Amino acid sequence: MSSSPTHLSFLAGRLSPPFSSERVGLRPQRVEFRIPKSRFSCSAGQSGFFSRLGRLIKEKAKSDVEKVFSGFSKTRENLAVIDELLLFWNLAETDRVLDELEEALLVSDFGPKITVRIVERLRDDIMSGKLKSGTEIKDALKGSVLEMLAKKNSKTELQLGFRKPAVVMIVGVNGGGKTTSLGKLAHRLKNEGTKVLMAAGDTFRAAASDQLEIWAERTGCDIVVAEGEKAKAATVLTKAVKRGKEEGYDIVLCDTSGRLHTNFSLMEELIACKKAVGKVVSGAPNEILLVLDGNTGLNMLPQAREFNEIVGITGLILTKLDGSARGGCVVSVVEELGIPVKFIGVGEAVEDLQPFDAEAFVNAIFS
């Protein structure tokens, strides 16, 4: 294993089969795999690691795309009325059609600001003669949503820096799927050949450590747990990051206690955790990922604002979207907060935490 600093950057790209070609370029200390129509890129010092990773991406591509598509079935059903509206569209019915389209977007939790902006843009383009058919209107609708996501959601890759171990903190309120998301993320990273260490930093919830230990066993990852009932979260995370540094782990995934965004004393504990890991590895944590329950729709915005103000959120994991018809909240949270969505939960299986890709998302909800 190379002793030189290693840069890890996992880019959540669109995995669209078939792959017509694969180009591999080898240089000292760096290997790149470039796959057509994919935005997944990594760079580090071990060529064998990325050889395995490239094959894995190719093998999983088809199933991953299907999971994203099926995960948004309820939102897609809500928005299916748009196809009906545009099927026999004519200029004389523009106002009625756009009113009903607006309602469909609102029901799917796109939010008032975004919905009005989309609809008024469509109205202007229709009246100016730019859009002359239902197909053109739908394409313009998809284009508007994609443009919003692309503008403020450009950094969907995990930013893991140049030092090992990279440290990722997972934060959120109780019941949002925080510990489960950490376990699924560990599974994905482990399968990509990464040496992962878990840190059971949720010291408030009695069953949290046990839950994470189950995930550690399930994914084949090592774990650091609290010693004693009154251990502080910052102490557990410090111990884990030190072990990660001493034993050559690639990534340390840190669980934290679930907390209401209105509980300031618990929110301050997150600051202590953030400072603690930074003392062990300069620049850590590399990522602070906020887990939000997709079923809450636009109600997730106040949570995200508070967490971001306290600890500086670098990315979002939106969970339980497969059980929600409110998939438009993905667009709302990106547009309102400017924080990139890095992963989405589209099912209960361990493989159902998917890297977020704007184009795949738009195609899934507006099929």
Q: Give the DSSP per-residue string, 297-356.
A: GGGHHHHHHHHHHHH---EEEEE-GGG-S-TTHHHHHHHHH-PPEEEEE-SSSGGGEEE-
pLDDT, position 337: 87
Measured distance CA(301)–CA(176) in Å, rounded: 14
Measured distance CA(242)–CA(284) in Å, rounded: 12
pLDDT, position 89: 83
Among the ranges given (62-66, 76-80, 152-156, 227-231), the one the predictor scored with the smallest mean pLDDT:
62-66
pLDDT, position 163: 82
pLDDT, position 57: 35
| pTM (predicted TM-score) | 0.80
Measured distance CA(120)–CA(143) in Å, rounded: 14
Preceding omega of 355 cis (within 30 degrees of 0): no
Distances (CA, A) of 157 to 2, 109, 133, 185, 261: 24, 25, 37, 13, 26
Measured distance CA(232)–CA(117) in Å, rounded: 47
DSSP helix/strand/coil, 172: strand
Is residue 74 very low, low, confident or very high in pLDDT (cuts 50, 70, 90)?
A: confident
pLDDT, position 123: 95
Ordered alpha helix ranges (H), 192-263? 208-219, 233-246
Question: Residue range 80-102: average pLDDT?
Answer: 89
Mean pLDDT, rounded, of the chain: 80
As given in the structure block, the two tokens for residue 331 are: 């667009």
DSSP 93: G
Name, in order, each residue with C-beta under 8 angstroms of 128's C-beta and a sequence gap of 6 or more. Answer: none
pLDDT, position 153: 64
pLDDT, position 285: 96
pLDDT, position 303: 87
Q: Which residue has the tokens 């206690």?
A: 257
In tens, the pLDDT along 180-233 reads: 999 999 998 998 889 999 999 988 877 888 999 999 999 999 999 998 777 899
Is residue 17 very low, low, confident or very high in pLDDT (cuts 50, 70, 90)?
A: very low
Q: Is 342 within 8 Å of 315 (Cβ atoms)?
A: yes
DSSP 205: S
Residue 292, beta-bridge partner list: 318
Closest residue by Cα to residue 45 from 78, 6, 19, 74: 6
Which range of 76-80, 86-90, 185-189, 259-263 scores highest in mean pLDDT? It is: 185-189
In tens, the pLDDT along 126-180 reads: 999 999 999 999 999 999 999 998 887 667 788 888 888 999 999 998 888 899 9
